[in-house]
Amino acid sequence: MEPRRIAHLDMDAYFASVELLRRPELKGLPVVIGGRRRGGAEAVGRLGDYAGRGVVTTATYEARRFGVRSGMGLMKAAALAPDALLLGGDYETYSRVSRTFKAAAAEVAPCIEDRGIDEIYLDLTGVEGGSRELALRLKAAVFDATGLTCSIGVTPNKLLSKIASELQKPDGLTILCLEDIPTRIWPLPCAVVNGIGPKASARLEGMGIRTLGELARIEPETLIAGFGNHYGAWLHEAAHGRDDRPLTVSREPKSISRETTFERDLHPKQDRDQLSRILLDLCERLAQDLARKGVRARSVGIKLRYEDFTTVTRDQSLPLPVTDAAALREAARASLRRVDLGRRLRLLGIRAGALVKEAEYRLQPSPADRAAEPPALFADLEP
């Protein structure tokens, strides 16, 4: 059987690159996207003048030279690169451009898995043309449609392609086959694998395992003993570059949520009114999201983050699926009675889960929903 040909396409410094498209005069300068949008999309500030909460969403390669990274707190980034330019994000534009580049890529290879706003996998297996030729066509199609560059990896599976697309950023192209694993993959740190995060790589380092080559030499039994059946066995497969997951070309959302971090920490008692307004606002936005997606929620959850960054969640299943803001708030209130409200909060969130399609719910509760309702106690005793 012929090996698969899977491409991973990753846009270069995506949000920052979109901004440079409409502000070409900023090209070549250190630019950081992040924080709250202040004064509209046109607002450009000096990173060193920023005060407040927030993280770096994207940094241009010029800003990365100062050590600025995605996910880094803005205050820390400001200390590293005070003269970098700071822009608030314009997510509507990023979404629109995202749809444009995905449509352009689909013209070259139609089987696509969406991996968020700036990444896709493509299955090139049945597509006419060599891997390099197809990858170059993808890059040209994306550039013609958007003016943006991307980096592509082509290998026999998703796991390797994801790693490969990172190897020559920006504007990169890397094609690997299974024979390349010892020379190209094994020297890399374990954390390049999608699924090996900070915790797992720290534990691996504690075992003296830093590279994928070192991981590949460990007996699977050892990894299973240390990391559990599922994850341990997977670590072994990943280190050997084995991955037979198909592309997921469409999926239904499992949950929808809204959350917000406050400018300053708020106390549930002293700042009760402000928190109530914030909760109501989150519920209204979540209700709009549910309506837009045409779904109802059979479970509603809240999320609280305290000033010390500890996070708690409380979930509640509902007898009947809900959509409106009032019902969401009612469910949220019930859950709030089950958490500690004696400490300051930095974040409040609300989540809709166990989603039911509006069309399938119709006007009547389904038999399953009726069965879920508790039986009326003593109903038989009524006269």
Q: Annotated active-site positions, please?
A: 119
- Residue selected from 199, 292, 337, 362 as contacting DNA according to rule CB under 7 A: 199
Specify the residue, 61 or 306, whose C-beta has the smaller distance to DNA.
306
Interactions with DNA, residue window 155-194 (CB under 7 A): 162, 193-194
Specify the residue, 62 or 119, whose C-beta has the smaller distance to DNA.
119
* Token pair recorded at residue 109: 């290879």
* Residue owning tokens 């909060």: 345
| Under rule CB under 7 A, residue 211 binds DNA | no
Provide the mask over 273-312, with x wherever binding to DNA is found by CB under 7 A and - wherever it is not: ----------------x---------x-x------xx-xx
Q: What is the DSSP string of 141-194?
A: HHHHHHS--EEEEEESSHHHHHHHHHTT-SS-EEE--GGGIIIIITTSBGGGST
Cβ–Cβ < 8 Å for 144, 158: no
| Under rule CB under 7 A, residue 119 binds DNA | yes
| Under rule CB under 7 A, residue 366 binds DNA | no
| Under rule CB under 7 A, residue 206 binds DNA | no
Specify the residue, 129 or 207, whose C-beta has the smaller distance to DNA.
207
| Under rule CB under 7 A, residue 48 binds DNA | no
* Token pair recorded at residue 113: 């898995």
| Minimum CB–partner distance for residue 242 and DNA (Å) | 16
Angstrom distance (rounded) from CA 103 to CA 383: 66
Q: What is the DSSP letter of 296?
A: E
> For residue 27, what are the contacts with CB-CB under 8 A and spacing of at least 6?
20
Specify the residue, 127 or 233, whose C-beta has the smaller distance to DNA.
233
* Token pair recorded at residue 303: 């999320």
| Under rule CB under 7 A, residue 201 binds DNA | yes
Specify the residue, 126 or 197, whose C-beta has the smaller distance to DNA.
197
Interactions with DNA, residue window 62-81 (CB under 7 A): 70-71, 73-76, 79
| Minimum CB–partner distance for residue 86 and DNA (Å) | 14
Specify the residue, 134 or 356, whose C-beta has the smaller distance to DNA.
356
* Residue owning tokens 């499992």: 254
Interactions with DNA, residue window 225-254 (CB under 7 A): 228-231, 251, 253-254
- Residue selected from 126, 221, 317, 360 as contacting DNA according to rule CB under 7 A: 317
How many residues form the binding site for DNA (CB under 7 A)? 59
| Under rule CB under 7 A, residue 338 binds DNA | yes
| Minimum CB–partner distance for residue 152 and DNA (Å) | 14
| Minimum CB–partner distance for residue 190 and DNA (Å) | 10
Specify the residue, 20 or 282, whose C-beta has the smaller distance to DNA.
282
| Minimum CB–partner distance for residue 130 and DNA (Å) | 26
Angstrom distance (rounded) from CA 170 to CA 339: 46
| Under rule CB under 7 A, residue 90 binds DNA | no
What kind and span of H or E run contains 359?
helix 358-361
| HEC secondary structure over 114-136 | ECCCCEEEEECCCCCCCHHHHHH
* Residue owning tokens 């950081």: 32
- Residue selected from 205, 214, 284, 315 as contacting DNA according to rule CB under 7 A: 315
- Residue selected from 195, 244, 288, 360 as contacting DNA according to rule CB under 7 A: 195
Omega prior to 365 cis, within 30 of 0: no
Q: What is the DSSP string of 6-70?
A: EEEEEETTHHHHHHHHH-GGGTTS-EEEES---SSTT-EEEGGG--SS-BEEEE-HHHHTTT--T
How many Å is the Cα radius of gyration of the chain?
Answer: 25
Specify the residue, 126 or 246, whose C-beta has the smaller distance to DNA.
246
For the stretch 70-88, what's the b/e string if a residue is b when 16 or more beta carbons lie within 10 angstroms of its beta carbon? eebebeebbebbeebbbbb
| Minimum CB–partner distance for residue 25 and DNA (Å) | 26
The site for DNA (CB under 7 A) is made up of: 53-55, 57, 70-71, 73-76, 79, 115-119, 162, 193-201, 228-231, 251, 253-261, 289, 299, 301, 308-309, 311-317, 338, 346-347, 349, 351, 354, 372
